[in-house]
Homo-oligomer: A and B are copies of this chain.
Amino acid sequence: MQRQWQKQMKKDSSTEEKIRQAARQVFLAKGFAGCTSREIAEVAGENVALVNYYFRSKGQLYKLIFEDALEDFVNSMVVVFGSDKSLKEKMTIFIEKEYAFLAKHPEIPAFLLNEMNREDGCSIHSNVHFEKIAATGVFEQCIKAQQEGSMRPIDLRSIPLLIMSNCHYPIMAKNLIMHLQGMNDNEYEENLKQHREHVSQMLVNYLFPEK
């Protein structure tokens, strides 16, 4: 007996959803081993047993959150690459959007990265994410640009790495750099704006050399 209005309710404010959101918040902040089921339930304002009632186990819930975060992460790329701009424009826009996205979700890169390094971690068992990016045709666009000579002829696999390095690291390493350089939060955020411009210029200059 399916009651549609109940299913709808689930996606909004049900206990299940409250726990899911609490789990996302806590897992992203502290990682799998760094938190407890009880902590998640507490943040959700619900009983501990409900975590297992709705999600069977802490690990199962974690997998769900991981896939969720990975999807957000990949989607934030796909949007830009799927447009019909030139490669140079796409990259400039992407860097802009990526910095904006990471300002809202600063924990995602480190979360995914750590999870992939965890032994027995949630390895990525399908290439659906890669295909999503490939489906935008951005790789063909690169090959064409390289043939035309407008783009530096480098291994295509190095390009995402160059971009991600310069977008993700400054967010992930905020606390490390801040402390090492004796800055405070405001100073760092201010510096980040300048830094974004340098990253943008540097990458464009390198990948699309003039002459």
Contacts and interface: CB of A to CB of B under 8 A. Distances in A.
Contact of A169 (B130, B158, B165, B198): B165
B206 A158 contact: no
A198 B156 CA distance: 12
Interface string A184-211: 0000000100110011011101100000
A1 interface: no
Nearest to A173: B113
Chain A, interface SS category? helix
Contacts of A113: 110, 172-173, 175-176
Given A33-B34, A166-B165, A194 B154 contact: yes
B177 A160 contact: yes
A161 B183 CA distance: 13
A97 interface: no
Interface in A116-174: 116-119, 123-124, 127, 129-130, 154-155, 157-158, 160-162, 164-166, 168-170, 172-173
A182 B116 contact: no
Contact of A116 (B154, B162, B179, B199): B179
Q: Chain copies in the assembly?
A: 2
> What is the size category of the interface that chain A forms with chain B?
35 or more
Contact of A158 (B30, B112, B129, B198): B198
Contacts of A206: 198, 201-202, 205-206
A117 to B, nearest CB: 5
Given A124-B180, A176-B113, A191 B130 contact: no
Interface of A: 29-31, 33-34, 110, 112-114, 116-119, 123-124, 127, 129-130, 154-155, 157-158, 160-162, 164-166, 168-170, 172-173, 175-177, 179-183, 191, 194-195, 198-199, 201-203, 205-206
